[in-house]
Amino acid sequence: MMGTLLTEVYDSNKGSGWSDVLMGQAELKMTEVTGSKGKKVLKLEDKNGEKNRGSLTLSYRIMEEAERQEGIRKKKEEARKRKEADEALRKQKMWLTLTIERASNLVDIEEMLGTGVSDPYVVSKCKKADGTEAHVDGGKEPKTSVKDGNLNPEYGESFTYEIDALQLKQGEEESKMEIEVWDSNNTSDSSMGRCMVPLSRWAEGIKNASLELVKTDSTAGACGTVTVSVTVVSDADREKQWRIAKDREDKRKAELERLRREKSCLTVTAVKANNLKNLEITSTSDPFVRISVVESDGSVGEGHTKDTVYKDGCLDPVWNEFVEFDLSSAQLEQGEYESKLSLIVYDYNTISHDIMGSYTASSRFFSSLAHSSAPSQLTT
């Protein structure tokens, strides 16, 4: 017994609360189907038989029941393998680091209101398929600092999200990154534009990608752009990177400790000064140089401040005096123990000295001058 295949095309109104609307229908009689496979173009009409509702192209294939069952079996097997593969991906812990580099050409919301210039910050949320948000490493809020009165702010701030490999795969389980720029206000903050990016686009990482910001009432790019960089690493690779960084830091600390125990002598010679400004009204200033070693915590140790003699009434004094400081080698190296050298030219007075000029630099800088045969000129 041959039958008829009824096909209907609807206009979907999903989410609107309205029923779907029939756009057209067509019937295909099985007696019109010839051969084991083929294609048919059907003319659509409404329920009242009115034609000119367009056309629908169907492809068909006729097979024996055994062949159909084999096809079903193969599809089930493929589905099983896909599910196993997805489960394996779900178990692969990954870390995605998103760096908000900058935002550009933002629209000034506050100018429209006559209240000044917008103060933008960026919020980035990694949203899973079920609507929940991915955990941010360290429990920190994925929100940048606020840049006051700046429509082209630079951030360079990073957030690391704990995800799995399945969230990076295109499909039903794929996560998306929601990035939104907000204008900070005392009462309530206002959205300046947002974008949504599927994580599959960033599975291999990306550098300085420019994303167009939109609002519900604007076209793409009309709200400016936000530039981001992304890196993705597996849990194993992240652990490896952490161990490498820790080994490097341990070696650095060990070297600093060795340098702290190693003694060095820093010799500084005050050769001369030129074109000093006269601070006296009825006479000429009497300059001398105070040379100090300032510790990394801002303190000055005992014996680490020394003065040259003062030169009576001279704005181009020549001293050719040297002072020496016993330091640890760590104080002459870049790092947490690095000291600074403070040079202050004073006008000598019997009551209190007046500053004529000063210069501060790292001890490492002055240590590097030890290999130079010529004196260095410093401008105060």
pLDDT digits (tens, 9 = 90+) for 18-73: 899 999 999 888 888 777 788 889 999 988 888 888 999 999 888 888 888 888 89
Q: Locate 33 and state its tokens.
A: 């189907």
Among 61, 84, 107, where does a domain finish?
61
pLDDT at residue 76 greater than cutoff 60 = yes
pLDDT tens per residue across span 276-288? 999 999 999 999 9
Nearest to 192 by CA among 106, 291, 99: 106
**Domain tally, the chain:** 3
Residues 266, 232 share a domain: no
pLDDT of residue 347: 95
Least confident of 196-205, 218-227, 300-309: 218-227
State pTM to two decimals: 0.56
In-domain check, residue 170: yes
Spatial CA neighbour of 323 closest among 336, 296, 348, 342: 342
**210: in domain:** yes
Residue type, 178: E
259-305 per-position pLDDT tens digit: 888 888 888 899 999 999 999 999 999 999 999 999 888 899 888 99
pLDDT at 1 over 50: no
Range of 40's domain? 4-61
SS3 78: helix
95-137 pLDDT per residue, tens: 999 999 999 999 888 776 666 789 999 999 999 999 999 999 9
Residue 268 counted as domain residue: yes
> Domain with 204 in it: what CATH number?
2.60.40.150
Q: Which residues pair with 25 in a beta bridge?
A: 8, 45
Q: What is the reported pLDDT for 375?
A: 53
Residue 102, H or E segment: strand 93-104
Distance of CA 77 to the CA centre of its chain: 43
Contact 215, 196 (CB under 8 A): no
Residue 331 lies in a domain: yes
Residues 147 and 182 in one domain: yes
